[in-house]
Structure 1
Amino acid sequence: MRGWHKYKVRETQDAIVGAVTGPLTAPRSLLLGRLNAEGRLQYTGRSTTLSPTAGTVFAGLLSHATSRHPWTGWTFSTGWGTNEPLNVTLVKPELVVEVGVDVARDGAGRWRHPARWHRIRPDLTPDQTPLSGS
């Protein structure tokens, strides 16, 4: 008997939280990034929906971004193939998290599928995360 099997390859990666969906007091998902070679935060993907407990934890660790946030003026879409804008709150890009990601990436190096939040990485600073595209 012949057939084929599809396997999703996942790995864990570290990323910087640059924005959230939902209110800052109860974030619903994380918008993640990594620094490029020039030290500028590049968008790499979004997390799956956070549990209420995780949202409460993040609420105590995130704060509103300054006007100099690298994503100021950007718009994010709600999903692939749609132009519907996603309402986001920019945060200070200081918090590093570990996420599980599918190794599939788009042409810009962003994760094609939502990342699954695993844990907060208080032992890392943003400049200790892998560079964008890594």
Structure 2
Amino acid sequence: MPVLRPPVEPMLAQARDTVPGPGALPGELRLQPKFDGYRALVFTPWPAHGPVLLQSRRGRFLQDRLPELVDAAAALPDGLVLDGELVVWAQGRMSFEALQRRAASSGRTAARLAQETPAHFIAFDLLQADGQELLHVPYGERRARLEQLFTDRGLSAPWTLCPETTDVATAQEWLTSWTQVSGIEGLVVPARGPGALQGAPP
């Protein structure tokens, strides 16, 4: 099975006005909060001793702009590809404007902003592990392996495991409470593959 190499085009969400009910999609219904950040992929070296790469959803490389995430990737195993969302916290809330400044920075400015407004990566899918591509593995198994990765490695900031629930009532509660928090826009319903269906708040 081929090793994933950037650029990899992630499957994008499709907007929906309501939360799907049980049985509306194939397989078990899973729901996650939708964060207002930059979709990104993290590639750790395979084989070892290569560079860590951060790729935007459009194929742009971001690692020179986010050196703190490259440094933090030392805690990740080789041959890994994480799919997730880049966010920046500023003054106690997620700030898309601060994230835009980070993405446009370089050199000394990038190093300074890494200290002042560090980026965080919210992981919601595992596309490759140990150099083995997982795109055809059912989402539930990929999610279990992603959770195990966080447990085994004791991962913490800047790495965050995206919250997930199988309970529609809990997801509805998220919509009525979390969406009032700056930086959270709605829900994402992961599909069987690496993509998702997105549900916006009503």
TM-score of the two chains, using structure 2 as the length reference: 0.19
Q: Which has the higher strand share?
A: 1
Q: Which has the higher helix share?
A: 2
